[in-house]
A and B are shown apart, each in its own frame.
Chain A
Amino acid sequence: MTVPIESPPAAGPASGGGSDAVSITGLTKSFKKPRSVETGPQALSNVDLTVRAAEFLVLLGPSGCGKTTLLRSIAGLETPDSGSISIEGETVFDSAASLDVQSRMRPVSMIFQAYALWPHMTAAQNVAFPLECHHVDRREIPERVRDILTKVGIGHLADRYPGEMSGGQQQRLALARALVIGQRIVLFDEPLSNVDAQVRERLRLELLRMQRTLGFTAIYVTHDQTEAMELADRVAVMDHGRIAQLGEPREMYVAPRDIHVARFLGQSNELPLVVEQFDERSCSITGSGPLGPVRASWLPDEAPGLAPAVGDEVVAFGRLGDFVVRPVDGTESASVADGPNENTWRGTIEAIRFLGTHTQYQVKIGQIRLRCWSTAGDGWDPTEGTSVVVTIRVQDLRVMRERQPE
């Protein structure tokens, strides 16, 4: 446990280079069970993370994965058990040096889930409060408040109370309050989770625009993968207190390194397989499952030393958009794993849902149901009960191992 100390800390070895906004090394945190001396499962497990200056980093994951704990640890609202955190080159937490800088002294701001705007203060008073806390010259305060409110586009609402503002205006006010003191790192704790879908999309765009214009570093927690994809320069997918994968949204979507990441980013069909043949040279696997023989690809560099062996149980993933649905033309032979008709199956459409940008078909193949997306406007208009052929390319069907429970 970290013991508070009085001595002024020095920039530790964990301090990142000049362009790192936040640098985290080996961060671990467990919560005690209520009214018990026992500790629960680790909320953070040896987390390493570097956030670049002025980037928009999204911490993505399901409830309880540790993303909010990580954010609150950066803010100083939680005390980790071990590890270190540096902000703008300054070490603010280091368990080895028993250093734990108070949250009010850390150069970060935070925007909370419900914005946490003080309801008894006007917009101007909300924004002025951090300036007063930092003993800014009282004569300067009105101008700085006016300036930041104008920059976020609510200069005309300075005398309104938060309760008299719309959701979007409240978000801007929260941002103005977070930025007014000059903090270049803003932490966001699921600020859009209570907003309806349309407003959420608008607020996301606004937020992104303001981040680009004002140039602050954003660390944003969410469980919404669409939100993550839309906002992030980089996404860190979290699972059971660790970072499962960190990368750019496209890279994460196309080549997830982990079964958890694959499941969390985008919708997939999952086909359980037993490996029958593994071709190390072409990195392809032939296996058998409920759909018969299937051929899928394997990315060896992302899981070194874990290459599947014959007889292993694995899962083949395919994004819904990568499955192609077409009419039966009589030339294909169902259930083959090689040749021109590999990964091709005959089935019947059970349900059709038009989803605006694409159509989703649910196709029954034997006892298995696959969901497939189609965006083609080729005039083909099947109905429920139509016999179809479903196919997917080998390179679009990725094999991964089911993770063993920890």
Chain B
Amino acid sequence: MTSVSGGLLPAAPTRLGRMRSAGNRVRSAGPFSVVSVVLGLLVAGTIAAVMARLGLMAWERFGIGVFAFYWDQVLANPPIRQVVINTVVVVALACTLATFVAAILAWLSERTDAGIGATGRFLPLIPFLMPGLAFPLGWLFLTAPNVGALNVLIRGLLERVGVNLETGPIDLFTWPALVFLYTVPLIAYAYLVISSAMRNLDPGLEEAAKMAGANPPRILLRIVLPALRPAMISAFLISMIPALAMLSIPLVVGYGADITVVSVYILRRITDSFPVGYAEAFLVGLLLVVPIMVVWWIQRRSAATGRLAVIGGRASAASRLRLGRRWRLVGRAVFVTYGLFGVGLPLFGLIYVAGSPRWTATWPQSWDPIAVALNTLNEPRILGAFWNSLTLGIISASVLIVIAQLLTFSQQGHPRLGRFVDALAKSPAAIANILLAIGVLLTLGGPPFRFSPGVLLVIAYIICYIPYASVVTTAAQQQVGKELIEAAKLSGASDFRMLGRIVTPLTRNALLAGLILVFVLISGDINVALILASGPSPVIGSAMWEIFEFGGFVSVANFALVVTLVSTTAILTMALLASRSGLPRR
């Protein structure tokens, strides 16, 4: 046997020497733990303070009678009971559909030869290009029963064959239309989670199924989707959060369809009633905690089984499943249909109204969108709103992703504390954003803090959107194999170094995708904007709302069109960056 001294290894006296002299050679709280605990407490403390403020309002109003409120004014009150049922039905249907469609799109794009290159990857992000009110307004301009462009067009064609209709034939103000409009933007949220998991799924699973004689739909339904169950549940959760807080679609469509959901009820209690029903709005909004927590618990259980597709330490070449000509055409048709529903048709609706002198049931005689758009942009208040949204969006999104990445990673060292902070970080998702904005205003806008509107906006954005960032970073870090972290640990890396050199580079794509998601959400937000940015420094959401209320449809269509162009530029730039940061593969 070769002796130690006779070996060719580099000298190693330093290690033992360092061990003997090192003060922190035993397990103890290092600087990373201190930083993450302080940060976790800061975030959790702010969220807790805001929620406590809202709770205090409810307590001051009802006291111990808070439980009686749920019985008398919710369960035994048919209109409010109906509001809760409406919300549950529309959210459950839309999230299920969105998760399923997102999985199909992600599979086609990432794992099959039906993918249409970079365009295919970009397609599911398209709904983010039409922020806030732009998307439902586009569909409203297109399919309003009387004056919708598509209805006008169809009625004109039917007239030629002798069929005369007064309204329709398409009616936006119905249940199916509401579920459809909810579903389309939610697909994008679900897609972001599923696609990154799909990218790392062992291609051998699909190939084995193909060899066993399965056709593409069977491979997708029986092999791929069950294998990605944890990612599907994460996708359902992340799409449920915006679905519950959705305000723009139910505001535009729900009123005409006489379907009220919780978010609209809260808005009405705050804006249309006197005295303002903060307490009632908060207590009804609190009911949304239940479904969020149920799905979150399922997600944790699912992640704990460890049956996730992870990035191993041994890279392999990924191969795409060949669908054959017929199925490839079907796959491409799915992309095109989604593109049309997600952006093509609503954009057409916006362009149609934006260029017209006014929105009527007949085709306009003149049509010039560029002139009207330039006029809109020349308005200093609108220009200011753009810049404010851009700056605040970038700052808030960057801060959010950094915080979420750090807090998620800290769960490795402090699992119990980490779980607690994780739960608190996700808890704002259960509260309607508009209520959180009020909480921030009441808690931090007054004495002793008296923060400026800009700071209040950033804090409100962080609180409202940290659940998204947290879900994104959790899903991203679950993709990194445990052994890669342990190898770094045994190499002597500190927690900061592991996060900076191993975890963050390996999750770079997902983090950039998360940054895009959060930025677009913030720039398209109307919930926070209506409470905190309706004064002299508006943001896009509040400015668009003002025009919608006072300026008429043509102006709002123009504004939405310009906002869509700006969002497109931002997202294209970031998506390009994300696509270039892939790991070198064999």
Contacts and interface: CB of A to CB of B under 8 A. Distances in A.
Interface of A: 4-9, 34-35, 53-55, 75-77, 88, 90, 99-110, 112-120, 129-130, 132-134, 144, 147-148, 151, 161-164, 167, 170, 177, 179-184, 194, 212-217, 233
A84 B482 CA distance: 26
Contacts of B484: 116, 118
Contacts of A161: 315, 583-586
Given A34-B304, A104-B491, A134-B15, A215 B585 contact: no
Nearest to A177: B491
B304 to A, nearest CB: 6
Interface size class on chain B is 35 or more
Contacts, number: 196
Given A162-B315, A182-B9, A5 B26 contact: yes
22 contacts: A8-B22, A54-B3, A77-B490, A104-B492, A114-B481, A114-B483, A116-B481, A116-B486, A118-B313, A119-B313, A120-B506, A132-B497, A133-B491, A133-B492, A133-B497, A162-B313, A179-B10, A182-B9, A182-B13, A215-B6, A215-B9, A217-B4
Contacts of A5: 26, 28
A6 B26 contact: yes
Contact of B27 (A102, A147, A184): A102
A162 B28 CA distance: 34
Contacts of B311: 119
Given A119-B506, A163-B583, A212 B2 contact: yes
B271 interface: no
A363 to B, nearest CB: 38
A116 B490 CA distance: 11
Interface string B206-235: 000000000000000000000000000000
A106 B490 CA distance: 8
A133 B8 CA distance: 22
Given A116-B481, A119-B315, A215-B7, A133 B586 contact: no
B577 to A, nearest CB: 16
B20 to A, nearest CB: 8
Majority secondary structure, B binding face: loop
B487 interface: yes
B583 A120 contact: yes
Contacts of B497: 132-133
A114 B501 contact: no
Given A104-B490, A118-B313, A163-B585, A216 B506 contact: no
Nearest to A233: B1
A204 B483 CA distance: 22
A376 to B, nearest CB: 36
B312 interface: yes
Interface in B550-586: 583-586
Listed from nearest, the 6 A-B pairs whose CB atoms lie closest are A215-B7, A182-B12, A163-B315, A116-B313, A130-B491, A133-B492
Interface in B285-336: 304, 311-317
B19 interface: yes
A404 B473 CA distance: 50
B26 A54 contact: no
A105 B494 contact: no
B9 A184 contact: yes
A108 B19 CA distance: 12
Nearest to B501: A129
Interface in B494-508: 494, 497, 501-502, 505-506
A163 B316 contact: yes
